[in-house]
Amino acid sequence: MEEFLRGLLCDLVRHCDVLKGRITTIPDQLDLRSHLLAAYQVVEAVRRDAVQLLADPSFGSATLLRNHLQLYKRAQERALFAESFALPFLERYGQRDYRLTRLCRRLLDQVHWPLGPPLVAAFSSQYYWTKPEFNIICVPAAEEASLLGLPDLIHELGHVLQLHCGVALLGTFLQELLGYVAQEQQRVAAQQRPPEYLALYNHLLGQWAGNWLLEFVPDMVATYLVGPAFGWQHLRLCSGHSQQDAYHPSLGESGTHPADEARLRGILAVLDQVGAADSGVRIKELWERYLAVSGQTKPADYDLCYPDTLITSLARHVVAGCRALGLRGIDQAPSNPPPAVDIPLLLCEAWERFLADPRAYLEWGPKRIEALWQELGAAPAAGAA
């Protein structure tokens, strides 16, 4: 096993050299520069760690073999992460990616984003997703042709913000969550409810803290930044993309995302916080019609999973955190003089036009987004700053 592991480490060193060679041959562009450097540094760190482990006098010791194997596993995972996510983005960066990246940069300038801008690529087979560690976002291939889905780009930005500024966004919410679960567990005993509920609440705490906050917070950040546009997009997403019931997962169930209905209430809570409650009423009315048409009903104990008190409190914390970070919300005026194209307001306008007259929007939308690409400019030649 010692020689097998030595061979694996040598192969990892060679593989890192291959990856570094690929990264260094990618043409330099301003949009790519920081991402090229970050990917190179990750791969070089893995290569260096593998070389140091091979040179360690204790390598091969039977008593340390398990530790050395774990070190190899972690190094291999880091290299694979760079190869699977960073490298494909960087090597295939083209005109469509450039457009979306530049749109994202313009948006972040306008909302006073406190972090570096991400790289956006248009080749996703799984709708929108992000790898916050590499500051990369992947969107569907034809997303540059429409304004209606772009609020979900802001949701992915929320994942990046949460990774770096999660403490500011959450405030004391985790303590409130713990208090809620403890209170409910006390009620189990006081009301002589089945003792199985104690385990259900422990599971619920794990879901909130482990997965659901990772979606609730970006939803709320997106709503803070682009307002009702994100609420309408959530309804669009549920109507055409979501494969789960609007009330799943409920108590005792598991899911990587919280229930769509609870997420909608989180969006409405933020709209109320930023003075857009009227838009929230319209979104809620259409949402209720959507639930009726799709024949979905709330299961027993659902409200125990997503109480309004927790969702409203989280919304207050996220809005306060966004303001503390200096982010410009949808309720705040653009810079003076205002920009020629204010991206948050454009996304709201697109949705209002669509809702008022979908047919007219189909005439206006393509022309408006093409004008936006013209305003953002053509992609620079390789090597251009």
- The residue type at 219: D
Report whether pLDDT(114) > 90.
yes
| Average confidence (pLDDT) over 345-358 | 96
Q: Is the pLDDT assigned to residue 385 strictly greater than 60?
A: no
What are the residue boundaries of the structural domains of the chain, listed by start? 2-93, 145-324
Task: Band the pLDDT of 209: cuts 50, 70, 90.
Answer: very high
Question: How many percent of the chain have pLDDT more than 90?
Answer: 74
Q: Which residues of 170-208 are buried (b: 16+ CB within 10 A; e: fewer)?
A: bbebeebbeebbeebbeebeeeeeeeebeebbeebbebb
**Closest by CA position to 26, among listed 108, 96, 102, 88:** 88
Give the C-alpha distances (Å, rounded to integers) separating 59 from 50, 52, 68, 159: 11, 10, 7, 39
pLDDT digits over 30-57, tens only?
A: 888 888 998 999 999 999 999 999 998 8
User: How sure is the predictor about 382, in pLDDT bands with cuts at 50, 70 and 90?
Assistant: very low
Q: Closest by alpha carbon to 151, among 347, 284, 289?
A: 347
Asked if pLDDT for residue 268 goes beyond 60, the answer is yes
Q: Would you place residue 383 in the very low, low, confident or very high pLDDT band (cuts 50, 70, 90)?
A: very low
Q: How far apart are CA 204 and CA 307, in angstroms?
A: 12
When pLDDT is cut at 50, 70 and 90, the band that residue 378 belongs to is low
As a 3-state breakdown, the chain gives helix, strand, coil percent values, each rounded to 5, of 70, 5, 25
Average pLDDT, the chain: 91
pLDDT in tens, 138-162: 999 989 899 999 999 999 999 999 9
Single-letter code of the amino acid located at 58 = S
User: For 180-194, 265-279, 293-307, 357-371, which range has the lowest pLDDT when averaged over its residues?
Assistant: 180-194
381 pLDDT more than 50:
no
pLDDT at 95: 87
pLDDT digits 0-9 by tens, 225-254: 999 999 999 999 999 876 679 999 999 999
**Alpha-carbon distance 258 to 56, whole Å?**
47
How does residue 279 score in pLDDT terms, banded at 50, 70 and 90? very high
- d(CA 148, CA 146) in angstroms, rounded, equals 6
pLDDT of residue 166: 96
Give 298-321 pLDDT, tens digit per residue: 998 999 999 999 999 999 999 999
> What pLDDT does 242 receive?
60
User: What's the pLDDT at 379?
Assistant: 52
How high is the pLDDT of residue 125? 82
